[in-house]
Amino acid sequence: MSPRPDPPEVDRVAASRAAIAARRARAAVKKAVAERSRSALEVAEAAWSDPTSPEGTLRVRELLGSIPGLGPTRVARIMAQLGIADSKRVGGLGARQRLRLREWLERREGRRSRLVVLAGPTAVGKGTVSAYIRENYPDVLLSVSATTRKPRPGEIDGVHYYFVDDEEFDRKIAAGELLEWAVVHNSYRYGTPRPPIDKALAAGRKVLLEIDLQGARQVREAMPEAVLIFLLPPSWEELVRRLIGRGTEDSEEQARRLETAKVELSAQDEFDHKVVNADVGDAARQVVDLMDAPGRL
Ligand code: 5GP
C-alpha cells in the first residue's frame, strides 16, 4: 500500500486561513454579546439554526463568559447546574440541554419561563388556582402528580392525581421517573412525573407544577431555569379560616397542617415572585402571565 499523499500545500494554507477566519468570527460574536449589541439568546438561536456557523461552533463556556457581569466561577457553576460539559459547543447541545440553556437565558434576559412552580402554605388555595388555570387556560399543562394517598370523593385517577401504592411509588423513584418527590404533612408521598414535563417543554408548551415547598426546592436544584411562585393568603386569619372551613380533615390533621403552614409561610423569600390569592381569577392570571415566554424551540 502506498502512503497517503500529503494534501497539497495550497489546501493546508486554505484550511488554516479558514480556521483563522472562524476564530475571528467567533471573537466578533463574543464581542457583540459583551457590548450588548447581540443577546446571548439570539446567538444561541443562531447556533441552533446552523450548528456549523460561528455561533454554533462557539463553546457554551465562551458564550456565557461574554455576558456582562458573569465571571468564570459563575459560568462554571451555571454550566454544572444546567448539566452542560465544559467543552460543549453551543451548536452541539442535545435537545434537553438546549431547552435548559434557552430557559436559563430567557430568565436572565428578563423574559419569562415556561416552567412555573406554584407553592405556598397549606389551604392558601393552590388547588383552586391551579384548577382555575386548568379550566381557563387550556394551553397550560398542569402536571398530574403521583401520590400514595387515597382519592377523595370526586377525585379522578389520572386527572387530579395518579393514585398509586407504596410499591409503585418506590418503583417510580428507582426508575428516575420523578422530577421531585416529598412526604407531605408527615403522611403520604407525592411526586412529579418527569417525562410529561420534558415532552411538553420540548414542544414549547407552558407547564405548571402545583407542589409543596420541599418539592419546589428540589425543582430549583434540578431545573434552575424554573420560576418559583409563592401563593400568599390575604392574611393569616384568612388562612386559618380557609383551613378550618374546608372541613376535609379531622382536628388533629388541621393542627398539623396549621403548623406546616407557619413554617411554609416563613419560606416565601426563597421564591422569585409572590402572588396574593385574594381573588382566584386574578391570582390565576398573574401566575399565567409569569409563564408567557415569547419564542419557540
Ligand atoms: P392534597 O393531599 O390536599 O391534594 O395535597 C397536599 C399537598 O401536597 C399540597 O400542598 C400539594 O401542593 C402537595 N403536592 C401535590 N402534588 C405534589 C407533588 O407532586 N410533589 C410535592 N412535593 N408536593 C405535592
- What gap in Å lies between CA 23 and CA 236, rounded to an integer? 60
Q: Could you give the C-alpha distances from 234 to 216, 227, 248, in angstroms and in order?
A: 22, 22, 22
**How far apart are the C-alpha atoms of 137 and 132, rounded to whole Å?**
8
pLDDT in tens, 45-102: 999 999 999 999 999 999 999 998 888 999 999 999 999 999 999 999 999 999 999 9
∠269-239-114 over CA atoms, to 5°? 50
**Per-residue pLDDT tens for 149-190?**
999 999 999 999 999 999 999 999 999 999 999 998 778 999
Whether 111 has a pLDDT exceeding 70, the answer reads no
Higher pLDDT, 243 or 232: 232
Burial of 140 (0-12, 13-18, 19+ CB in 10 A): buried
- Which residue has its alpha carbon closest to ligand 1 atom 11? 211
Spatial separation of the C-alpha atoms in residues 182 and 118, rounded to whole Å: 15
Residue 293 alpha carbon to ligand 1 centre in Å: 26
What are 287's three cell numbers? 401566575
* pTM flag (> 0.85): no
Residue 274 makes CB contacts below 8 A (sequence gap 6+) with 229, 230, 231, 232, 268
Closest C-alpha residue for ligand 1 atom 10 = 212
Q: How far is the CA of 259 from the centre of ligand 1 (A)?
A: 16
Q: Could you list the beta-strand ranges (E) of 58-193.
A: 115-119, 140-142, 145-147, 161-163, 178-184, 188-193
Q: Do 78 and 189 contact (CB within 8 A), yes or no? A: no
Ligand 1 centre distance from Cα of residue 134 (Å): 16
Instruction: Please tell me the predicted confidence (pLDDT) of residue 201.
Output: 84
Q: Is the pLDDT of residue 5 over 70?
A: no
